Structure 1
Amino acid sequence: MIGWYVHHHGWGHVTRMQAIRPHIDDDVTVFSSLPQPASLPARTTWVQLPSDSEPVVGSDGVHREAHERGDVTAGGALHWAPLRHPGHQARLAAMADWVAVHPVSAFVVDVSVEVTILTRLLGVPTVVFAQPGDRTDAPHRLGYDLADRILAPWAAGTIEADGLADHDDRVHRVGAVSRYDGRDRDVDGRPDVDGDERRVLFLSRTLDAPRLAATIELLTADGWIVDTAGAGDDDRVADVWPLLCRATVVVSAAGQNGIADLAAAETRALVIAQDRPFGEQEHTARVLAALGLAVTVREDATPTEVADGVRRAAAIAPGWQAWQATGAAARAAAAIEEVAA
C-alpha cells in the first residue's frame, strides 16, 4: 500500500497525482486538505485533512492567526509548523495513525518538508517531488536529505536545480508529467500558422481582467480568433485538450503542469511567469526561453507587449521532445514502485 500527500495550493499537485496514479499497480491512499475530486481511479482512497492555517481561538477567546501564536518555522528549520494549532496536530496525527495500522510500502510527498520528516521518522520509505526555483534553503535541504527517492518532473539537461546537487544518486528526472500524456493529438484541427486562421488560447489567469480584455481587443483587430480557458471568472473548461490542439499559440503561466500540457500538445506558446515562492515560474520560463521552446514576457507586460509576444510565438517551431512529456507519468510511477518493492 502506498500513501500520497497532495499539497493544497492550487490544483497542480492533485493533477500530477491523477496523471501518475493509473500507472501504479497498488492501493493508494491520498492525504490532502483539498476536497476529494469528483472521480478517483480504482483502489484509491481520499482522506481529507483539516486545515493547518485557519485562525485558532485561544483560552482568552480571541481568534489569532497561526503565525501570531509563535514561530511557525522553528527558527528557519521548517517551512510551516504552527505552534499549538489543533488542525496542524490533527493532520499529522491522521497520517501517523494510518501508517501505524496499514502495511505501507512507500509514501509519496508532493510537497511538504514537514510530511517528509514525519513519514521518514515513522520508518516509511519516502519519495518526494522536487520543484524548480531556488530550493537551497535549510528546510528544502533537510527534505531532500531524508528522501529515499527524489522525483524531478523535468527532463535531464533542462532545469538546473542547485538544491539537488548533492543528491544525484537519488534523483530521477522523469520528464514533464502531463495529464494528457498518450492522448491523440488532433493535429488536423490546428490552424496552419501560414494560413488565414490564427487562433490563440489564453490558458488560466496569466493576465488581470483589464489587460486581458485589452490584449484580446488588439489580437482580434489583427485577425486572431481568441479562446479562453480559466482566464476569467466564468470560462472554466473541464477538458482543455481540444483547445490546446487547435490553437496556433497558447498563452500560459509557467507552472509545471501547464508547461507539461503544452509539451504534450506540441503547441507554440507565449509563457508569462507568475510570482511564486522560490522563483519557481521565473526559473522555468528562463529555461524555456533559453531552449527556444517558448516566447516569454514579464508578468507586468503591457497588452501591446503580450500581443507582440503572441505574434512572435507563432513564428517558432518548438522542439518539445526535449521536455520529455511522453512517458513521464509511467516513468514516475516506475520509480515509486521501485521504492515500494
Structure 2
Amino acid sequence: MTGRIGWYVHHHGRGHLTRMRAIAPHLDAHVVCFSSLPAPDDLPANVSWVGLARDDQPAPALPGDDPTAGGLLHWAPLRHAGHRSRLAVIAAAVATGDVDAFVVDVSAEVTLFLRLLGVPVIVVTQPGDRIDEPHRLAFAAARRVIAPWPVELYAPRHLTSLGDRVAFVGGISRFAGRARPARPRGGEVVLLGGGGGADVSADDIAAAESASGRPWRVLGAGSGSWTADPWEALSTASVVVSWCGQNAVADLAAAGAPAVVIPQERPFAEQHATASALGRSGLAVALTGWPEPARWPDLLGQASARGGEAWAAWRTEGAAQRAAAVISAELRTGEAR
C-alpha cells in the first residue's frame, strides 16, 4: 500500500461511518479513522481506528461561553477537556508524519485545524444550505470537496462556484453492484428509518399501516428492529418509505426501489434539499413531512409506478471508486513533491 490517509468520521448517526466503509476498500493506502464512535468489529482490512473523546458530553454549561466564537465556527466549546483531547490526538498523529492526507466527513473545525497543521484535506460535504461562515471557511481550506450525489440533479451554487475542486461523484452506496434477489417485489411496505433520529412516532407508523391496507416492516425509526444489511428488504418491498439521508437514498437507488421519501429535520435543511431534488427528478414520491393516514393508499400507488432503472440517474455505480480516485490523487500529489 502507498501512503496513509487520516479520516475523520462524525459520530452523528451511521451514515458517515457507512460511507467510509464503502470507499476505503477502493484505496491503495492505509486508512486511519478518528472518531467518537465505538470502533466497529468488521472494518475493511486496510482500516484502523483511533477513538476520540466527545466534545459535547458533558455539555458546556458556563454562561457566556459561546462555542461558535461569534458564528466563526460551528462547535468549539471553551474549557472542555474532551474538545482539547480530540484535537490533541489528531495533532499528535500528524506530528509523527504518519498521515499524508486527511478526509473529513464532516467538521468545519477539524478541516480548519488540519489545514493549519499543513495537511491536505479532502472534505465530504452534505446537501443543504451550507453558506454560513464556518462552511465557507472549510470549503476554502479544503483542497478537494466530495459531493456524494449527481450534479445533474442537484447543483447548489455554493459548490459549483468552487469549480473543479468539487467532485460530484454520485450516490455512494455499500450495495452498488450487488445482485438483486431473483424473486419479484411482494406486497410489503418497508419503512427504512436512519440512525440519526426521527420526528415520526410508532403511533404514526401504525396508523399509516392500517390506512394503507398493506403490511409494513419497520427497520430503524426507533423500532428496535435495526438491521445491518437491509438489502433483501429494499430489493423485494413493494414500496420503501425512507428518510432522506445520503446513504439511505443511495441504497434506494442501488436497489431500484419504488420509494416515498420523507425528509427529517437536520442541520442546514439537508434532507429537505435531497427530497426536493428527488421530487423534481421524478425518482421518488417526495413529501415535506409525514402525511395524514388517508393519503397513504394514493402515495404508495404513485410510488409503485417509479423506481427501477430510472434510479441510474443517481449514479451509484462507480461512485465509491470515483470518491477513492479523488482521495488517491491527493496522495499522488504529495508524493510528487
The TM-score normalised by the length of structure 1 is 0.91
Equivalent residue letter for 2:281: L
Determine the structure 1 residue equivalent to 2:188: 199
What's the offset of the Cα at 1:69? 5.6
How far apart, CA to CA, are the structure 1 residues paired with 2:161 and 2:5? 27
SS in 2 for 1:189: coil
> Any residues of structure 2 matched to 1:1-341 within 5 Å, and which?
1-55=4-58, 65-66=60-61, 68=63, 70-186=65-181, 188-191=182-185, 197-204=186-193, 207-219=200-212, 222=213, 224-317=214-307, 319-341=310-332
What's the offset of the Cα at 1:160? 2.1
How far apart, CA to CA, are the structure 1 residues paired with 2:158 and 2:61? 28
How far apart, CA to CA, are the structure 2 residues paired with 1:336 and 1:301? 41
How far apart, CA to CA, are the structure 1 residues paired with 2:63 and 2:184? 53
C-alpha distance after superposition, 1:37-83 (max 9, x if no partner): 1211113111110010123xxxxxxxx73574601111111100111
What's the offset of the Cα at 1:190? 2.7
User: Does the 8 Å contact 2:173/2:247 carry over to 1?
Assistant: yes
Determine the structure 2 residue equivalent to 1:60: none
C-alpha distance after superposition, 1:194-216 (max 9, x if no partner): xxx52211111663111101111
Greater mean alpha carbon deviation, residues 113-122 or residues 291-300:
291-300
What's the offset of the Cα at 1:177? 0.3
How far apart, CA to CA, are the structure 2 residues paired with 1:66 and 1:11? 28
Greater mean alpha carbon deviation, residues 292-301 or residues 113-122:
292-301
CA 1:177 to 1:67, structure 2 compared with 1: closer, same or farther past 3 Å? farther
User: Does the 8 Å contact 1:190/1:248 carry over to 2?
Assistant: no
CA 1:270 to 1:11, structure 2 compared with 1: closer, same or farther past 3 Å? same
Equivalent residue letter for 2:96: V
Equivalent residue letter for 1:17: M
What's the offset of the Cα at 1:182? 1.7
Greater mean alpha carbon deviation, residues 118-127 or residues 199-208:
199-208
How far apart, CA to CA, are the structure 2 residues paired with 1:254 and 1:278? 13
How far apart, CA to CA, are the structure 1 residues paired with 2:98 and 2:288? 48
SS in 2 for 1:337: helix
How far apart, CA to CA, are the structure 2 residues paired with 1:3 and 1:306? 45
How far apart, CA to CA, are the structure 2 residues paired with 1:215 and 1:67? 44
What's the offset of the Cα at 1:189? 1.9
Q: How many residues are aligned here?
A: 324
How far apart, CA to CA, are the structure 2 residues paired with 1:67 and 1:305? 48
CA 1:190 to 1:151, structure 2 compared with 1: closer, same or farther past 3 Å? same
What fraction of aligned residue pairs are identical, expressed as a percent? 48
C-alpha distance after superposition, 1:154-200 (max 9, x if no partner): 112111222213311200111000011121112x3232xxxxx5221
How far apart, CA to CA, are the structure 1 residues paired with 2:184 and 2:57? 46
What's the offset of the Cα at 1:23? 0.5
User: Does the 8 Å contact 1:131/1:152 carry over to 2?
Assistant: yes
Q: Where does structure 2 lack aligned partners over 5 or more consecutive residues?
A: 333-337
Q: Where does structure 1 lack aligned partners over 5 or more consecutive residues?
A: 56-63, 192-196
How far apart, CA to CA, are the structure 2 residues paired with 1:338 and 1:111? 20
What's the offset of the Cα at 1:304? 2.1
Q: CA RMSD in A?
A: 1.5
User: Does the 8 Å contact 2:24/2:46 carry over to 1?
Assistant: no
User: Does the 8 Å contact 2:211/2:296 carry over to 1?
Assistant: no
User: Does the 8 Å contact 1:69/1:83 carry over to 2?
Assistant: no
The TM-score normalised by the length of structure 2 is 0.92
How far apart, CA to CA, are the structure 2 residues paired with 1:180 and 1:68? 47
Determine the structure 1 residue equivalent to 2:335: none
Equivalent residue letter for 1:90: S
SS in 1 for 2:160: helix
